[in-house]
């Protein structure tokens, strides 16, 4: 009897184990699916984070490039402002210079007026020297080939002494400030 009891217990244990064995594969499959699901979810989160990181990095690179461009542009503007700071004043002084030149072309025969003309000449030279120090240059015109960037043609003439498209006469002087034309020369051009 003991043996029967023992066999019966063993059979019960075997059935329990079989039930456990039958139940365990389903649990394991569920656990594996959950782990795969978690792994897939983690991979998706990693991919999303990597994509966000890449986007932020690209934005940062563009922002850095924009900042560099802004810095260069403002530096160039400052340099131009410094280089051409006196342009407005020079534009105001050019008509004065023209009037000085016209006044000095008048011939004076009296001795008392001659001293006055010499004083005017000195003031004129000082004014021209001051403008030259600021970088103002006269634009060469008469006898030069016509350049629409430097000359403003107001008349065309036919003169056999000059080649075609050459400046025959300068009607008003033109000036440059450093490399910028601030007033083109008014000229007559040969056809």
- pLDDT by residue, tens only, the chain of 191 residues: 555 556 556 655 555 554 444 455 565 666 667 777 777 888 888 899 999 999 999 999 999 999 999 999 999 999 888 877 888 888 899 999 998 888 888 888 888 788 888 888 999 999 999 999 988 999 999 889 999 999 999 999 888 888 888 999 999 999 999 888 999 999 999 88
What is the model's pTM? 0.58
How many CB atoms are closer than 10 A to CB 127? 14
Burial degree of 71 (CB within 10 A; 0-12, 13-18, 19+): exposed
- Long-range Cβ pairs for the range 3-6 (8 Å, 24+): none
Helices marked H in the chain: 2-83, 87-104, 111-133
């Amino acid at each position: 009897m003991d043996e029967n009891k023992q066999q019966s217990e063993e059979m019960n244990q075997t059935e329990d184990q079989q039930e456990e064995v039958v139940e365990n594969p389903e649990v394991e499959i569920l656990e594996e699916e959950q782990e795969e699901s978690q792994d897939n979810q983690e991979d998706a989160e990693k991919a999303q984070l990597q994509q966000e990181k890449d986007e932020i990095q690209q934005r940062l690179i563009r922002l850095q490039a924009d900042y560099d461009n802004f810095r260069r542009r403002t530096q160039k503007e400052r340099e131009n402002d410094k280089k051409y700071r006196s342009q407005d004043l020079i534009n105001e002084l050019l008509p004065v210079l023209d009037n000085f030149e016209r006044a000095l072309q008048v011939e004076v025969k009296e001795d008392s007026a001659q001293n006055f003309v010499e004083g005017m000449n000195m003031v004129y030279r000082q004014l021209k020297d001051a403008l030259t120090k600021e970088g103002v240059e006269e634009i060469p015109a008469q006898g030069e080939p016509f350049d629409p960037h430097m000359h403003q043609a107001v008349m065309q003439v036919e003169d056999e002494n000059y080649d075609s498209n050459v400046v025959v006469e300068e009607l008003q002087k033109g000036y440059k400030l450093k490399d910028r034309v601030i007033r083109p020369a008014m000229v007559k051009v040969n056809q």
